[in-house]
Structure 1
Amino acid sequence: MYKKLLELSIILALIVVILGAYTRLADAGLGCPDWPGCYGQLTVPDAIDGTQLEGYDRPLESAKGWKEMIHRYAASSLGLVILLLWWQAFKNRTLHRQSMPLPTFAAFFVMLQGAFGMWTVTLLVHPGIVTIHLLGGFITTSVLFWLLLNQNRLSPVLSNISKTNKLLLLTTLIVLFIQIALGGWTSTNYAALSCGNQFPTCLDTWWPQTTLGQIFYWGPIGINYEYGVLDNATRAGIQMVHRIGALTTTMAIVFTILRFYQYRELRNHLKIIAVLLMMQIALGITNVLQSLPMTIAVLHNVVGLLLLLSVVSLMHKTFKR
């Protein structure tokens, strides 16, 4: 039952990440101006679009409301499954010597994720809050994936990995996570199209007229950040920092692949990482050249998560657990 719940939770986590990306890219994050319901109901109200419902300043947009609510339904289901997962681990902690720290962390973390989901709405899609919420989804999925990998008793830890290579792998994971954060920051600041369809340049230059202080501007709480508040030059700077991060991450992953290719047991795994990396680069460039088509943009999020999980899986093979 524990393993089946883990498998179900990972499937739900992937669905939640996909729906979250779609909701964000469809500008539906405020499709329901309250939380956890939608205009005070458990479903989107059955009313004509544009209706000003009593007690709410935002007129109804049913399509956006349903995108947001379906995402919430999936996230709530994931939270329930993770709590059931913790309960199964707790019941079996003696009989099967089930470790409790990670299931407990997952249970508390998914509740924290729920809080950030609420703050995403109540704080009017503040870019920092939405980015943290995105990263939380990736962390939740990674923890669940690690727990599932722990269920494979036939997967030994490779003992011949040098400390230098382990440190390199850990550094690569951190670099990749930072790049995912930069991608979230780009999306939540509506900066994905700030360079037009130019690549690798941006607005006919290599660096727009902006500063790092403007690029990482946190912004006050209480104002509406829907569609962004930064000027286009600053958004273009965010886009360029994300591109620099992509180049840095690519170099880190390629170097890691080359260093780890000496271990025959890992070669097939490294090939999967290489394929996912190439896919992610192609999707990122296509997003720019094709002006952010929805399918490609959502896939860019999904492949980013799969790339992260592939590196997490590589760590699982090389670190004690």
Structure 2
Amino acid sequence: MNATSAAVDFSPTLRLLALAAALALLPLAWWWWRHRAAGALARRAALTVLTLFLTFDLVVFGAFTRLTDSGLGCPDWPGCYGEASPIAASVQIAGAEAQQPTGPVTERKAWIEMVHRYLAGAVGALILVLATLSVRARRELPFSLGWPLATVAWVIVQGLFGKYTVTLKLYPAIVTLHLFGGLVLLALLAVQAQRYHGRALALAAATRALLAAALLLLAVQVLLGAWVSTNYAVLACRGFPQCNGQWWPAPMDAQQGFTVLRHLGRAGEGGFLPAEALVAIHWAHRVFALVLVSALLALALALWRQAGGAARRAALALLALTALQVATGAANVVLHWPLAAALLHTGGAAALSGLLVSLQVRAVATSSSHVAVSRPSHRPASQ
């Protein structure tokens, strides 16, 4: 009985949850003070936007954690060597760093990894607060209660992805889903934020079809990009626009490259993953980028042709983000994967996702009502 009790120690988890709640109190206090005179609806809308912004920051910081090889900075989960902070685990971290000075565990990497977990916990706490407020005001919500509840459920899924990213030692399929899941969380919050504002955008049927197609293509490209990053295939192709001096690189091993159930650096049938597989992974992402960019340019042109300044502003934002993605994607190859370009590439993908999801929400609202709305349909003063 004593051995069993000693084996299950929840104290690090409880301390981490307490720390996450304390961190969440900072933006909550700012939000309450800033919007204390506003109506209940306006306060919930502001908190949704604030949580959306912090989730975007979390996605970028998650990329920073990945790009600095800090994903195993603390080799257990949720704590660090069973402690709630690297300070308490300093002896174990120092010992691991002494054995491998450039290995996965160093003091710097441990702090980066734990800060990422702290931020994730704080965002999760904010999402739980949002869901609680939504349940209390479910009759006045401008969207289904299923959206905030689904967001809470997805936070739990993301937490599990984060756990298995560590415990399975950067298993590529899990890491890819974890990276993609951050953008899914962003999209769920973007839907709610847009619904609070209630501004519909009148779009032609062809433009709405282009928008839906672009959103689907972006999801595929994000998965391909996450697979490139997860497998460290960014530099498998040297040069741009050619790959290793060829317009169509050969040889490539797509079968090995896209074997999903395998460990990092390992082939599906055993042994190490060949370089030809990494080339195939990189090249698939680059070729599909041409498809996505074509769709985004077509969508931007269709939006520009729509009547009204809102559609044209959306077209300009879409063009700017597309240009950013092309420039940072090329810079990652030409400049040998600099941290700044890689972070901008991730941030651009997150911003593109938020923009397309917001446009989709606005377009769906218009397609059912056929009325362009410029102001929220629910007034804060009435709450």
Question: Shared topology, TM-score over 0.5?
Answer: yes
Question: What one-letter code is carried by the residue in structure 1 that aligns with 2:50?
Answer: L
The structure with the largest helix share of the pair is: 2
What code does the residue aligned with 2:302 have? R
Q: Distance in 2 between matches of 1:40 and 1:208?
A: 47
1:119 to 160, 164, 167: 164
Structure 2 counterpart of 1:201: 242
Quote the Cα distance in structure 2 between the aligned partners of 1:273 and 1:43. Answer: 41
Pick from 65, 69, 74 the counterpart of residue 114 of structure 2. Answer: 69
User: Structure 1 residue runs of 4+, over 4 Å off?
Assistant: 95-98, 223-226
Unaligned ranges ≥5, structure 2: 1-42, 98-102, 369-383
Tell which deviates more after alignment, 116-125 or 199-208: 199-208
Preserved contact between residue 303 and residue 314 of structure 2 (Cα < 8 Å): no
Task: Determine whether 1:233 maps to 2:276.
Answer: yes
Separation (CA, whole Å) in 2 of partners of 1:279 and 1:6: 26
Deviation per residue, 1:34-76 (Å, 9 max, x gap): 00001111111223855049xxxx8841111111111100011
Distance 1:46 1:210, change over 3 A: same
1:246 corresponds to: 289
Hey, what does 1:294 align to over in structure 2?
339
2:236 partner SS: coil
In the alignment, structure 1 residue 92 sits paired with structure 2 residue 137? yes
Residue 280 of structure 1 aligns with an amino acid whose one-letter code is Q
Task: Confirm or deny that 1:28 pairs with 2:77.
Answer: no
How is 1:1-321 mapped onto 2 (pairs within 5 angstroms)?
Answer: 1-44=43-86, 45-47=89-91, 50-52=94-96, 60-95=105-140, 99-153=144-198, 155-158=199-202, 161-162=204-205, 164-196=206-238, 198-205=239-246, 206-220=248-262, 223=263, 230-265=273-308, 266-320=311-365
Q: Distance in 1 between matches of 2:265 and 2:260?
A: 11
Whether the aligned pair in 2 keeps the contact of 1:93 and 1:100 (CA below 8 Å) is yes
Q: Percent identity?
A: 33
For 2:241 and 2:353, locate their aligned partners in 1 and report how far apart those are by CA, in whole Å.
24
Q: Which runs of 5+ in 1 are unaligned?
A: none
Within 1, Cα distance between the matches of 2:200 and 2:291?
31
**Equivalent-residue separation in structure 2 for 1:60 and 1:136 (angstroms):** 25
Aligned residues: 310
TM-score between the two structures when normalised by the length of structure 1? 0.90
- 1: CA distance between counterparts of 2:55 and 2:339? 20
Compared CA separation, residues 207 and 81, structure 1 to 2 (3 A)? same
Quickly say closer, same or farther: Cα 1:60–1:136, change in 2 above 3 A: closer
Q: State the distance in 2 between where 1:59 and 1:212 align.
A: 29
- Computing the radius of gyration from Cα coordinates, the structure with the larger value is 2
Contact 1:21 1:298 in 2 (8 A): yes
